[in-house]
Structure 1
Amino acid sequence: MEGTESTTRERSTAKDGNKAADQEVLSSKPLHRFVQREPRNVGIAILIFGCAEVMMGFTLFGERGAFTSFGIYTSFWQGTLFLVCGGLSIYTELRPSKKMVTVCLSMYVVSLLGIIVSLFYRIRLFSIYVLKLYRDEYLSLQRLDQIVAIEALLFTCSLFVAGLLIFLCVIARLALKSTRTQIIVRHIPAPPTDTTAT
């Protein structure tokens, strides 16, 4: 089946007269390139950023009167996208298949589009705060600075996750590019045996 390709390792032992040979056959299908880059580790990092985004969303939720990125629920949908991408990356390394890499690639692209939307929205927020266009008599200047710091932190995290997602998009695309199966055979000679009796 084309959709259930996976990387496999087989070990076989062959005996030829007095010599024993140990061969390891590594089936390197296109998905092996994706698994070699260890998307699980990158997925764990993206999961952590997704959890941080969602938790900071609850902080911004408490400031409903303030002008924050909570206006379009950015922290919740972007954090959810990060959590889904991280989970898919982990699952795909454990059970690689062409269909799962395709699903991962599509989710990476959707998440990148979401990051672009959130970055533009947060840049707009920063410009409003810097130009002092936003004033609220119920919000102290110290609290406003804290909200700006949270938004700046989430902005920086989004940039970092965008870099990770671009890396994952590239390796997923390269894994799906080639459909030829390649087999690498490694021959490891057996250690010499001492035939002299003592």
Structure 2
Amino acid sequence: MEETESTTQDRTTGQDGSHAADHTLLMSSKPLHRFIQKEPKSLGIVILIFGCAEILMGFVLSQEVDYTSYQIYIPFWQGALFVACGNLSIYTEMNPSKKMVTVCLAMYVVSILGVVVSVPFRLSCILNFRYARYRYYSENNNWKQLIGVESLLFTSSLCVSVLLIFLCAVARLALKSTSTQIIVQHIPLPPSNPTSN
């Protein structure tokens, strides 16, 4: 008798495991929850780590007098973009809404544009170090470290851009399928009775 009451109480409060599974199944059909199924929180954590590494390497490059990506402050603004994208992805998975997915999509696009600016500049820095290595070789081996740091940041920017393109596609598909729809229902009037006159 007591077991029956506790089972009934669990079903009404939603604590039963099968009820939670049914709720998850129902939520998976909604477009915004398809975005959540791609786990933007996990990808956001990865992007956040890349952003923090970018900012930390920016402090290392700021002490150099040579031609580096610090010349136009790439490590700082690109790192800040990555940190913002990572935080938004984490927040959006915890609080999904159409507005937050739209904000995420906008930040992803801005960050991809930042990568498009930074990649050629970093490539030119790496090539500049390659051509100038004979001059530096007689003085010090600092150019090897600078090539290593710039190559690492170049590679991490490309990796993050792949993640951002994937998240852009998923967010765009989620927003596209949640377009507002109007359902018009026509209910015909009951036929008038001519004998009532």
The TM-score normalised by the length of structure 2 is 0.75
For residues 162 and 176 of structure 1, the distance between their equivalents in structure 2, rounded to whole angstroms, comes to 21
Residue type of the alignment partner of 2:89? S
Count of residue pairs brought into register by the alignment: 162
Mapped contact 1:12–1:24 kept (Cα < 8 A)? no
Give 1 or 2: higher strand fraction: 1
Bigger Cα Rg: 2
1:12 is displaced (CA, Å) by: 5.8
Question: Is 1:122 aligned with 2:122?
Answer: yes
Residue type of the alignment partner of 1:40? K
Give 1 or 2: higher helix fraction: 2
TM-superposition CA deviations, 1:10-45 (whole Å, max 9, x none): x967xxxxxxx9792413321011001110000000
The aligned runs of 1:35-114 (5 Å cut-off) are 35-63=36-64, 65-114=65-114
Question: Is 1:32 aligned with 2:30?
Answer: no
Where in structure 1 do 4 or more consecutive aligned residues deviate above 6 Å? Answer: none
Mapped contact 1:30–1:176 kept (Cα < 8 A)? yes
For residues 165 and 134 of structure 2, the distance between their equivalents in structure 1, rounded to whole angstroms, comes to 35
Unaligned runs of 5+ in 2: 1-9, 13-17, 181-197
For residues 172 and 180 of structure 1, the distance between their equivalents in structure 2, rounded to whole angstroms, comes to 13
SS of the residue aligned with 1:179?
coil
For residues 31 and 50 of structure 1, the distance between their equivalents in structure 2, rounded to whole angstroms, comes to 26
Identical counterparts, % of pairs: 56
For residues 155 and 58 of structure 1, the distance between their equivalents in structure 2, rounded to whole angstroms, comes to 16
Cα root mean square deviation, aligned: 2.5
Mapped contact 2:43–2:163 kept (Cα < 8 A)? yes
